[in-house]
Chain A
Amino acid sequence: MVRFGLEFVPRELFWKTTYYAIQADKGLFDNIWITDHFTNRNVYVTLTMILVYTDRITVGTGVTNPYLSHPLVTAGAICSLNEIGPGRVVCGIGVGDRTTLEQAGIPMQKPLAAIRESVYIIREMTSGRSIKNFAGQVYKVPGAKLSFKVGKPVPIYIGAQGPKMLELAAEIGDGVLINASHPKDIETAMKHIKDGVSKANKPLESVDVAAYTSFSVDENPKKALKAAVPVVAFIVAGCPDPVLEKHDIKPELGAKIRESLVKGNLGEAFSQVTPEMVDSFAVAGTPNECIEKIAAIIKTGATQIVAGSPIGPNIRRSINILTTQIIPHFKEVEKPQALQKI
């Protein structure tokens, strides 16, 4: 059965994110993913708050990166979370975006090796094993072991976009987080994921393939689209030309949006976002429109749908719509009532 997740960016106050997380926990969601950027509130503090105030939902980094946070530190943090919410923690890791790393003065060196080695280190450490004389291309660990008892092994998800990273993610990960919202892009990603699992000689079903979408739902379609526009503007601005062309978007339009954003002219940038761009890079619209698009994504083989930023013009209401109208369309469940209360 397909799983549903929510992504939160901890730019919001802790109590707000935690409020939404409790709402998701009472609803039909399976996962909560918290992004990790040094510019925002700390991912592990946010996850701790969420674990304390929720009872069943699985939570994880979505995603941390191996350059700003050494895999040994990540492993310790993940095991600590697993003590607070046993069996409810996953670790999402990806190389992150170049711009953020550049701001920190950290080069994105050997991304494939960095991920492969990080996953090895995190998996060993979170399984309670020690690492001895590890000499990788990116990390050297002469000897390391956590000094406290760890819980059950934590599934590791890998954030991926390019073909090689997708293949690697499927090969060594327990899950893959595909940063895409259009069935066409997820279908392409699935080909590489299949290559990855066959390389590891494991069944495709052993990997949770999550479509990490930009999502916006509201009963009013105009409001839903409007909320998605800023996120889509940044996605289009950061997209390589071939990706835009694949969606029949002229690269010069992307360049214009990028130019406006660089100048800090947000209004101008957002006004250049077309409905076609929103359709290519977000799941946005009325509940029925979102159901239609989610169904197309699931058809490509995705096993988890993550509703990412902005979620909707009114996040509380959008989570309610997801719980009461959208998720029940894909999961056989009893009518959820708790959420209708507040």
Chain B
Amino acid sequence: MEKDLMEIVKKIPMAIRIELAERIVDLLLNSKKAELMPSGLAKTILYYWQRDQLTSDTGIEKLLEAGIILEPEITVTMLNELKLEEIARMVEDLLKTAK
């Protein structure tokens, strides 16, 4: 999934990444399923946050990965709300494949 997700992330315009990262971070912090966050993924996100790199390709990739694990439906809805319909569709396809 990691390789596919990175392909998707590269299509996300830089202009929207700050807002996207903010929305995913809020989603993760306020999720009732926050305990589903894998420890290694959490540490990677913290590492990128400490270095102001959450909007980089890898930063967004890790945030999306966490969003998909904790709140897959809301993550897709959020992408659509941000007018990232193509990205949302690709993430949905990825989720179907993963199932």
Contact = CB atoms under 8 A, between A and B. Distances in A.
Interface of A: 13-16, 18-19, 22, 26, 53-55, 314-316, 338, 341-342
Contacts of A338: 52
A54 B29 contact: no
A7 B46 CA distance: 19
B76 to A, nearest CB: 21
Contacts of A53: 46-47, 49-50
Contact of B25 (A14, A18, A54, A316): A316
A111 B18 CA distance: 51
* Residue from the set A14, A18, A315, A342 with the largest chain B CB neighbour count within 10 Å: A342
Say what secondary structure dominates the interface of chain B: helix
Given A16-B29, A314-B30, A342-B55, A22 B49 contact: yes
Contact of A54 (B18, B50, B52, B55): B50
B21 interface: yes
B20 to A, nearest CB: 10
A316 B26 contact: yes
Given A18-B46, A22-B46, A54-B50, A341 B29 contact: no
A342 B42 contact: no
A15 B22 CA distance: 16
A162 B91 CA distance: 58
B46 A15 contact: yes
Interface of B: 18, 21-22, 25-26, 29-30, 34-35, 37, 39, 42-43, 45-47, 49-50, 52, 54-55
A18 B47 CA distance: 10
Contact of A342 (B22, B37, B39, B43): B22
Nearest to A341: B18
Nearest to B66: A15
A16 B18 CA distance: 19
Given A13-B42, A15-B39, A19-B29, 4 more contacts: A22-B46, A316-B26, A341-B18, A342-B25
A22 B35 contact: no
B29 A316 contact: yes
23 contacts: A13-B34, A13-B35, A13-B37, A14-B42, A15-B37, A15-B42, A16-B34, A19-B45, A19-B46, A19-B49, A22-B50, A26-B52, A53-B47, A53-B49, A53-B50, A54-B50, A314-B26, A316-B25, A316-B26, A316-B29, A341-B55, A342-B22, A342-B54
A199 B39 CA distance: 50
A15 B45 contact: yes
Nearest to B38: A15
Contacts of A16: 29, 34
Among all A-B residue pairs, the 4 with the closest Cβ atoms: A15-B42, A342-B21, A53-B50, A53-B46
